[in-house]
Homo-oligomer: A and B are copies of this chain.
Amino acid sequence: MFEFIPPGTRFFPLPSPFPMKRGGALHGARIAYETWGELSPARDNAILILTGLSPDAHAASGPANPEPGWWEPMLGPGKPIDTARWFVICVNSLGSCKGSTGPASPNPATGEPYRLDFPELSVEDGADAAAHVVRGLGIERLACVIGNSMGGMTALAFLLRHPGLARHHINVSGAARALPFSIAIRSLQREAIRLDPNWNHGRYDERRYPESGMRMARKLGVITYRSALEWDGRFGRVRLDSDRRPDDDPFGLEFEVESYLEGHARRFVRRFDPNCYLYLSRSMDWFDLGEYCAGRCGNGEADVRAGLATIPVEKALAIGVHTDILFPLQQQEEIAEGLRAGGADARFLPLDSPQGHDAFLVDIGRFGPAVRGFLDSL
């Protein structure tokens, strides 16, 4: 229903039924993906990219779709993820509305969109679905799995639940578990959507659409994706020109930063299905690698390290930035330390980027060399 599928997207059918971690199963589900570069005869040059909450599979331009992708400066011939060397796959997350099966997709049992009848979604389900795509493309062993943000969680679940399916790993601004500050933010975003009378327990349509709730959720998202430091320099206290301000409303848009949030929200609210947003958001709260502590369980922190230590990976890089308030730097440090405890050659690389959580999308000057350096070393 509210599905937004870029041209050139390809689809891989999941096994039917596809069992879900928290119960239930999907029938006739599919995963949207796109690829770049050529798989080598030895099938040993494949890289999988797992995305954050909102992106589609179109990470970069290519023959199938010449439009720039969401990681355009990072991915292509000669770029940090060099498609002259690597065969790159990017999958759209299970539960999303960008081509993979999710709450906005038709439920084969009824022919109507699943809406809230979609089974509870876990990060692990997304990892399992991605593993099917990889194997389905004839790849027994990825050279590397790269996960950004939520995709960093998915990548860890992928490595843990599919041992041997990837040799190396780059975790970009990811986490091995959700912590209370980010749970609180996401909980509030979901509440904003659910409070919108037009959400109507998931039964909205084009005309009665939870636009206000989505706008609130997106604005709160953008606030936590960037950083105060960046905004001090970028917006300061600059005001809108008077002709861009609503007349006589002391509570209307007045500062540049308010207009920036408004613009971001406007571009998003009708481009992402609200129910899919709720499901993906909650799946992050639930994610906790501490569940896999394998008998060595003590408390939250020890458990997550024990869980990480069960992950078989040869070489790994965990990157983050000082100004990230949503997936703070300590979480990437935790990933590197936990993987190292499991025997991996794992490095933690903090970057001095002012752009907060979103830095990996915009600060290619810092992230590009980090990713390139790691891939060159393989």
User: Which A residues form the contact surface with B (CB < 8 A)?
Assistant: 120, 177-181, 183-185, 187-188, 190-192, 194-195, 197, 212, 215-216, 219-220, 223, 227-228, 231-232, 234-237, 250-251, 254-258, 261, 278, 282, 285, 288, 290, 300, 325, 328
Tell whether, in the assembled complex, residue B231 and residue A179 are in contact, meaning their CB atoms are under 8 Å apart. Answer: yes
Query: Main secondary structure on chain A at its contact with chain B?
Result: helix
Chain B residues closer than 8 Å to A188, beta-carbon distance: 216, 219-220, 223, 261
Do residues A228 and B328 form an inter-chain contact, with CB atoms below 8 A?
yes
Within the assembled complex, what's the spacing in Å between the Cα atoms of A177 and B300? Answer: 40
- Selected from B178, B183, B216, B228, the residue in CB contact (under 8 A) with A180 is B228
B255–A285 contact, CB under 8 A?
A: yes
8 contacts between A and B (CB under 8 A): A178-B237, A179-B232, A180-B235, A180-B237, A183-B255, A187-B258, A192-B192, A194-B251
Cβ-defined contact, B195 with A216, below 8 A: yes
Q: Tell me the complex Cα distance, A198–B219, Å.
A: 22
Residues of B within 8 A of A234 (CB): 180
Identify 14 new A-B residue pairs, CB closer than 8 A, beyond the known A181-B231, A237-B288.
A120-B250, A179-B232, A180-B228, A180-B231, A180-B256, A184-B261, A187-B255, A188-B216, A190-B251, A191-B216, A192-B192, A194-B251, A228-B325, A325-B325
Q: Which residue of B lies closest to A202 (CB)?
A: B251
Q: A186's closest neighbor in chain B, by CB?
A: B258
Q: A278-B251, A285-B255, A288-B237 are in contact. Are A216 and B187 (CB under 8 A)?
A: no
